[in-house]
Amino acid sequence: MVPITKLYVFDNTGLFCVVEFKNDNYEVQIDWPEDVSLRGAKFVAHALRYKSETGKEILKASKDLIAFIGDNYILAARFKKKISDEALAEILKKTYDILSAVKSFDPTEIGEVVAKAIMNEFSK
Asked if 17 and 9 touch (Cβ cutoff 8 Å), the reply is yes
For 16-69, what is each residue's pLDDT tens digit? 999 999 888 999 999 999 999 999 999 999 999 999 999 999 999 888 899 999
Closest CA to 96 of 35, 63, 62, 51: 51
CA dist., res. 117 & res. 77, Å (int): 13
pTM for the whole thing?
0.91
Nearest 5 degrees, angle CA 27-CA 68-CA 94? 75
Assess whether pLDDT exceeds 80 at residue 121: yes
Closest CA to 46 of 12, 78, 19: 12
**Chain-wide mean pLDDT for the chain?**
91
8 or 101: whose pLDDT is higher? 8
Q: In the chain, what are the domains? A: 4-122 (3.30.450)
DSSP of 77-89, one letter per residue? EEESS---HHHHH
